[in-house]
Amino acid sequence: MSEGWIVLVVALTSFLMTAVLRRYALSRSIMDIPNARSSHSIPTPRGGGVAIVLAFLAVTPVLGWLDLVSAHTLIAMGGAGALVAVLGFMDDHGHIAARWRLTGHFASAIWALFWMDGLGPLTVFGWELHLGLIGNILAAVFLVWMLNLYNFMDGIDGIASVEAICACLGGCLLFALSGHQDMIWLPLLLAAAVSAFLVWNFPPAKIFMGDAGSGFLGIILGCFAIQAGWVQSSFFWAWLILLGVFVVDATFTLVRRLLRGDKVYEAHRSHAYQFASRKFGRHLPVTLAVAAINIVWLLPIALGVVLYGWDGTWALVVAYLPLIFLAIKFHAGELERSDVID
């Protein structure tokens, strides 16, 4: 891999830019101040995820120039990711009404799907489905949900970074072992950018990612799944499996709060990972547990889908069942009460 220097450039750029952004946030008092809905207790600079965005987007044109990634893919992910990051950056520095954020999110999703030709054919329980317009609508909802759930799940030190690194490196491994080495570049570069940021974000975090970084990661990871699905359906299911910790916790929590009649757009601390961090009294055990689940449980199942032909939908069900059990065990979506954390 003679172009491996690109990975080092991305990592170094992300690391240095995070340091600069931390100084900028401190000088401008752009701080995350703890409140009743926070999972941290010390005021901490926020907005460091911009380093991930800029480091990744600045280098992707080089991939196009070297013919390592198609122009359509770069335009799709670059445009969608940049718009989401700008909206998140503006929200980090002030406030954007939820309806305008959601409008921007759907615009980003539509942009990405246009350049990626929408959602490809999927094999569902052995049946190959070409969903057409309905599939594209579902894909847009999927991308918007991915970027928002990633924002919801970025609530304790290091968790969003660790999830992205595990998913991206897992994807790279799947591509390499299945003979699709040409597909590793984007997830590899994103993993490099996030790994460098994690040096600053590892518990106890010196800077938070902020909406710009978390939303960007969410939509880019969703785009990885849709893009890979065009190569073969098993890749799409494999990406959903790799992202299972975040998908299950966020979705289970949302459904439970909707059924209870909560205002789901309001801040809360009722995700399973948040209950777990309060139970253990620290962020680190929960963040490391997420990494362990990804490596020990989800990655082997994803490998089975891609390398051994396991049915992707059944594998997804098997992968998610223990995660649903954990969501229930750690009270995802329940009202926060002192007697809940046992």
* Cα-based distances in Å from 113 to 142, 228, 231: 11, 13, 15
pLDDT-derived band of residue 41, with 50, 70 and 90 as boundaries? low
Is pLDDT above 90 for 276? yes
Q: Are 170 and 299 in contact (CB under 8 A)?
A: yes
- Give pLDDT tens digits for 112-169: 999 999 999 999 998 999 999 999 999 999 999 999 999 999 999 999 999 999 999 9
Q: How far is CA 262 from the centre of its chain?
A: 24
Q: What is the pLDDT of residue 203?
A: 94
Q: What is the pLDDT of residue 280?
A: 93
How far is it between the farthest Cα atoms of the chain?
Answer: 58
Pairwise CA distance, residues 333 & 289, whole Å: 20
For the chain, the residue count is: 342
How does the average pLDDT of the chain come out, rounded? 93
Secondary structure letter of residue 4 according to DSSP: G
Token pair of 85 as six digits: 């990051």
Q: Is 122 helix (H, G, I), strand (E, B) or coil?
A: strand
- pLDDT band, very low/low/confident/very high, at 36 (cuts 50, 70, 90): low
Q: Is the pLDDT of residue 179 over 60?
A: yes
Question: CA–CA distance from 110 to each of 11, 102, 142, 172, 223 (Å)?
Answer: 30, 12, 11, 26, 11
Question: Given this model, what pLDDT does residue 299 score?
Answer: 98
Token pair recorded at residue 19: 């340091």
Q: Give kind and range of the element (H or E) at residue 45.
A: strand 44-45
Q: What percent of the chain has pLDDT over 70?
A: 96
- The pLDDT assigned to 1 comes to 54
Helix (H) or strand (E) holding 127: strand 127-129
Q: What's the whole-number mean pLDDT along residues 20-45? A: 80
The CA distance from 322 to 329, in Å, is 10
Lowest mean pLDDT among 29-43, 58-72, 107-121: 29-43
**Per-residue pLDDT at 121:** 96
Q: Is the pLDDT of residue 262 over 90?
A: no
Q: Where do the H-state alpha helices sit in 66-158?
A: 71-93, 98-115, 132-153
- Short-list 242, 257, 241, 253, CA closest to 326: 253
| Residue closest to 201 by CA, chosen among 151, 155, 251, 250 | 155
The encoded tokens of residue 238 equal 């494999």
Residue 39 is predicted with a pLDDT of 65
